[in-house]
Amino acid sequence: MTRIFTTDLPAHVGEQVSLAGWLQSLRRMGGITFLVLRDGWGTAQAVIETEDSLQPLTAANALPESLIRVTGTVQANAAAPNGCELHHIAIEVCVPISEAAPIPLGKRTITAGQNTILDHAMIANRHVSRRATLRLSAGIMEGFRASLRERDFTEVQTPKIVAAATEGGANVFALDYFGRTAYLAQSPQFYKQMMVGIFERVFEVGPVFRAEPHDTTRHINEYVSLDVEMGFIEDHHTVMAVLRAVLHGIMATLQRSYAADLAVLELALPAVPTEIPSIHFAEAQTLIWRETGQDVRSEPDLAPADERWLGAWAQRTFGSDFLFVTGYPMRKRPFYTHPDPARPAFSNSFDLLFRGVELVTGGQRLHRYGDYLAALEHAGLAIEPFAPYLETFRYGMPSHGGFAIGLERLVMQLTGVSSIKLATTFPRDLHRLTP
RNA sequence: GGUCCUGUGGUGUAGCGGCCUAACAUGUCUCCCUGUCACGGAGAAGACCGCCGGUUCGAAUCCGGUCAGGACCGCCA
């Protein structure tokens, strides 16, 4: 008997089939017992009406999470979950488990606290709700890739072991590289720009590493960056339009192919407006000052509280979960940032807030060799460590720009989990290196 | 790095100087139950209240230290 997946059960009504997976729960009602089996895709119910069919489980003393194989006849039944269930079954216990799991997985919601979940992530993530959250992460990557391929972008992979800290200042993890010091890449920024010189339009899905000792619900030290970079742009608005289309594509992919996971989490996807509302950094500060009385106008950046306020403002003013903040001050942006030709103290850059959290950073980059030399000098940085990067511009680069979406932040904001650590399988934070 | 908060059976919580010989829910075990879907009902086992020290006639409860965790800020995706 070939195994089918639990999700394919409705297509086999009337047939004899075999399911394999984990015993999720066993509800004994006396003369009738309901068994729920979970495989990698979903769950299915089997009905046991004789003590004989139950015998293999009781004989093996099999608790939930035991691996079992269930063979039986698929019957349509309105009272069954998903409308069908297995009857007249034979159970084979493949791997009996007689110790209760550290976290009960058979309940609708997980009762364990964050630390317990993370300590037992390999088990806790089996829970259907955790699994749905993590699968949405896969769906986001799928939608991201599909949207960009559709727009003639080429997927690239750039080195994660690098010789120098790319963007001055931020902390990097050092490692021993055959006796030399190397670093884990904190961003594919330089490489994706170099690759614009090769493919014009590139994107990358890959890990980045931040050695910053931050300890908040929206920071982890290793995360997945969804990076995009493209040539021949007008200015940062060209990039923002691509970002809008990509977000739309991601949501469309989730709606189309991840409906089951959305249903498990009872989630409604945010609408991506045709035109995402946008506010200039300076206007945003003035607005906050006028509306809240908090004068943040001399600050070079928006504080998390400001971002939360702006997110709520965008929601009530435009009915949008998304808000672009453009034109961050040059002094807060990395040296390769392109200034606003009309107001050189401000940059042609943007952040995208999603429900009040910074989700994306992007903008236009410098593209002339001379501008880079001047920018490095202005930033007080030596030219020598940047020599390979600068060679790109020395031999001709078009105007270009791009952005980076924080994958886990998108998952967090989309699903509403209380911490970014719950938006990834095995988070790395200040204290956690295992599992 | 700064500020604040929390550690109680496997899990999640209540109790916050004597009613604590530590309560409730869930999980585990035994029994009853033929349509459950967080099944229901009856019973049982399971915790020296994170650890060390102090205050007190008396500490899960107050204080100090220590270890572990969490929230916010700085910084960022």
**CA-to-C1' span, A101 to B63 (A):** 39
Q: Which of residues 165-204 of A touch strand B (CB under 7 A)?
A: 170, 187
Domain extent listing, chain A: 6-100, 123-423
Q: A407: helix, coil or strand?
A: helix
Contact call for residues A348 and A316 (beta carbons, < 8 A) = no
DSSP state of A297: T
**CA-to-C1' span, A98 to B6 (A):** 33
Distance of CA A288 to the CA centre of its chain: 30
Query: Over the stretch A307-324, which tens digit does the pLDDT of each residue have?
Result: 999 999 999 999 999 999
According to the model, what pLDDT value does residue A167 have?
Answer: 58
Closest to A12 in 3D by CA, of A79, A90, A94, A71: A71
In CATH, A123-423 is 3.20.20.140: no
Alpha-carbon Rg of chain A, whole angstroms?
A: 26
| Rounded distance between C-alpha atoms, residue A287 and residue A291, angstroms | 6
Q: Calculate mean pLDDT across residues A176-189.
A: 91
Chain B: nucleotides below 7 Å from protein CB are 1-2, 10-13, 26-29, 32-40, 68-77
Q: Calculate mean pLDDT across residues A411-433.
A: 91
Query: Which protein residue has its CA closest to C1' of B69?
Result: A115
According to the model, what pLDDT value does residue A174 have?
Answer: 86
Alpha-helical regions (H) of A223-295:
236-257, 259-264, 281-292
Q: Are strands A33-38 and A349-354 parallel, antiparallel or unpaired?
A: unpaired
Contact call for residues A57 and A51 (beta carbons, < 8 A) = no
Residue A103, nucleotide of least CA–C1' distance: B11
Query: Over the stretch A149-160, which tens digit does the pLDDT of each residue have?
Result: 999 999 999 999
Q: Which of residues 101-160 of A touch strand B (CB under 7 A)?
A: 102-104, 106-108, 111-116, 118
Q: A345: helix, coil or strand?
A: coil
Highest average pLDDT, of A299-303, A382-386, A398-402, A429-433, comes from A398-402
In CATH, A6-100 is 2.40.50.140: yes
Alpha-helical regions (H) of A113-235:
114-119, 121-124, 128-150, 189-199
- Global ipTM: 0.88
Confidence label for A30 from pLDDT (cuts 50, 70 and 90): confident
Omega cis (within 30) before A435: yes
Q: What is the mean pLDDT of chain A?
A: 93
Confidence label for A226 from pLDDT (cuts 50, 70 and 90): very high
Alpha-helical regions (H) of A344-404:
369-378, 387-394
- Two structure tokens written together for A370: 């001379």
**CA-to-C1' span, A22 to B34 (A):** 25
- Two structure tokens written together for A286: 């003035």
